[in-house]
Amino acid sequence: MTRGPYELSTDPARLDLDAVHAYLTRSYWSPGIPRDVVDRAAANSLCFGIYHAGEGQVGFARVVTDRATFAYLCDVYVLEAHRGQGLSKWMMTSIVEHPELQGLRRFMLGTRDAHGLYEQYGFTPLANPARMMEILRPEVYRQATA
């Protein structure tokens, strides 16, 4: 799909994992993430990339899913220089309308500061947060490089 100078694609061969790693390693959710972890995560997920003619990859989102009952949206970003043009909304529309993500029982995500964006696509706070559990290791990437 194209929109002006931008193209959105799910073709894994188009992903610039160097660019994705460069962004994720400085993000608040995965500081210091090793490159091999980014490679494995992308290889085992449904990935969405936004590309700008002449500038390469400028946006990314990854959906961890069984393509039947569950999906987890993560690693969503648009580079700062390309924000304010509706690219996040375009990518989110493409994600929630993707044929392999229809009929899911649960579609989840975590965000620190983009609740307003995700609410536009039907995401809400957990209905029963006491039912959800996690193992959280926020320092795992720092430990891996030490």
At 63-112, the pLDDT tens digits run 999 999 999 999 999 999 999 999 999 999 999 999 999 999 999 999 99
Q: Look at the domain 2-145 and name its fold.
A: Aminopeptidase (3.40.630)
Per-residue pLDDT reduced to its tens digit, 92-103: 999 999 999 999
Instruction: Please check whether residue 76 is in contact with residue 88, taking contact to mean a CB–CB distance below 8 angstroms.
Output: yes
Give the pLDDT confidence score for residue 6 in this predicted structure.
97
**What mean pLDDT, rounded, does the chain reach?**
95
Signed CA dihedral, 18, 20, 24, 26: sign only: positive
Read off the pLDDT band of 142 (50, 70, 90).
Answer: confident
pLDDT of 13 over the 90 cut:
yes
Give the pLDDT confidence score for residue 145 in this predicted structure.
54
pTM listed for this prediction: 0.93
Helix, strand and coil percent figures for the chain, each rounded to 5: 35, 25, 40
What 3-state DSSP class applies to 30?
coil
- Give the number of other CB atoms < 10 A from CB of residue 98: 16
What 3-state DSSP class applies to 51?
strand
pLDDT of 23 over the 80 cut:
yes
What are the structure tokens assigned to 51, written together?
A: 């590309």
Read off the pLDDT band of 139 (50, 70, 90).
Answer: confident
- Find the DSSP H helices in 1-146: 17-24, 35-43, 87-97, 115-119, 140-145
